[in-house]
Structure 1
Amino acid sequence: MRHQIRTQIDIDATPDEVYAVVADVAAYPEWNPTIVETDGHGRLGEKLRLRMQPTQGGGMTFRPTVTEAEPGVAFEWLGRLGVPGLFDGRHRFELTDLGDGRTRLVHGESFSGLLVRPLRRMLDDGTAHDFEVVNAAIAQRVAERRGVGAHRRPGPEAPTGRSADAPEPGRAAGLV
């Protein structure tokens, strides 16, 4: 059985700037809320070691192989649970230049194998939610690298529902 999760976010940065964040696997523990430990650099063909801690459920360590690393275009790895065909996940960050210094990040994973059907509900709920959380963290990391600063939560000084120094709604931290 096959199953796919696909999320997307538009980010106020070039594809190369976004790629620099998603392909810097060694820095994931600094900003990625679901990957808390890494070993690897994100080079094509490299076997990584990633310690994942989803927002719901227990953590696990997996060892995916980088299958695509094209700067400004896409970064992808293939991970397997046990033997091939049991539960395989092709995790992908795909970048599209929207012009005007903006990038659409499509972040998803294609799952296949015998365990997809029994795990489908967890994938649709927890994993899809975590991808959205990671998307926001990517946008935040890119903004920090660009020196734009962090988007603050609305405080008492901003009764309109956004901080006085926040960008227009839907563009904060690259969200659309």
Structure 2
Amino acid sequence: MQKEIKTQIHINATPQQVWDVLTDFEKHGQWNPFIRSISGIAKEGNKIKVVLGPQGDKPMTFNPKVLAFKEAQEFRWLGHLFSPGIFDGEHYFELMENVDGSTTFIHGEKFKGMLVGMMAKKLDTAIKQGFEAMNKALKKQAEEYVFAT
């Protein structure tokens, strides 16, 4: 079974400014209501540690493999719950520059595996809401970053 959640938000900051906030992993716990922490070296092929979950839920810890880490463009990882094929998630962030210099931030995840069907309702509600809450918080942080510089 497969499922995808895809969200987006317009941010009044350049892709580089949004990227700077998104990849300042030490500060995620201060502003991000969904991804509580990221640690490790985000480089293609490396494993990182990600603690995430919607507010009100117990956070989950994953050690996904970084699939893409392209400056001011894309950050993508693949994680597994238990072992590959049970519940796999390819989480992605894409930054698209708009003609006015602002950014369209695309945040999503492609899910595959045996448990996806059982998790579909939670994915459509709490997880999607968590993505949207993070998007709004990122927008606020990036726009404040622009104002401060």
Superposition TM-score, scaled by structure 1 size:
0.78
Cα RMSD (Å) of the superposition?
Answer: 1.7
Deviates more, 1:111-120 or 1:135-144: 135-144
Residue 65 of structure 1: CA displacement? Answer: 1.4
| Structure 2 residue aligned with 1:124 | 124
| Structure 2 residue aligned with 1:43 | 43
Sequence identity percentage:
38
| Structure 1 residue aligned with 2:6 | 6
Distance in 2 (alpha carbons) for counterparts of 1:45 and 1:89: 16
Greater per-residue helix proportion: 2
Paired letter, 1:12: N
List aligned pairs for 1:13-52, cutoff 5 A.
13-52=13-52
Distance in 1 (alpha carbons) for counterparts of 2:57 and 2:28: 20
Deviates more, 1:120-129 or 1:11-20: 11-20
Deviates more, 1:26-35 or 1:73-82: 26-35
3-state SS of 2:98 partner: strand
Deviations 1:126-164 (A, max 9, x none): 00001000000111111121126xxxxxxxxxxxxxxxx
Deviates more, 1:69-78 or 1:3-12: 69-78
3-state SS of 1:50 partner: strand
Deviates more, 1:131-140 or 1:18-27: 18-27
Distance in 2 (alpha carbons) for counterparts of 1:141 and 1:19: 11
What count of residue pairs does the alignment treat as equivalent?
A: 149
Q: Is the 8 A contact 1:74 1:95 kept in 2?
A: yes
3-state SS of 1:85 partner: coil
List aligned pairs for 1:50-65, cutoff 5 A.
50-65=50-65
Alpha carbons of structure 1 residues 26 and 44: separation in structure 2 relative to 1, 3 Å = farther
Paired letter, 2:140: Q
Residue 19 of structure 1: CA displacement? Answer: 1.7
**Rg comparison, structure with higher value:** 1
Q: Is the 8 A contact 2:36 2:52 kept in 1?
A: yes
3-state SS of 1:82 partner: coil
Deviates more, 1:132-141 or 1:10-19: 10-19
Superposition TM-score, scaled by structure 2 size:
0.92
Alpha carbons of structure 1 residues 37 and 19: separation in structure 2 relative to 1, 3 Å = closer
Paired letter, 2:5: I
Q: Is the 8 A contact 1:78 1:91 kept in 2?
A: yes
Deviations 1:91-127 (A, max 9, x none): 1111111121211111100000000000000000000
3-state SS of 1:99 partner: coil
Residue 29 of structure 1: CA displacement? Answer: 1.4
Alpha carbons of structure 1 residues 15 and 38: separation in structure 2 relative to 1, 3 Å = closer
| Structure 1 residue aligned with 2:80 | 80
Distance in 2 (alpha carbons) for counterparts of 1:22 and 1:135: 10
Q: Is the 8 A contact 2:68 2:74 kept in 1?
A: yes
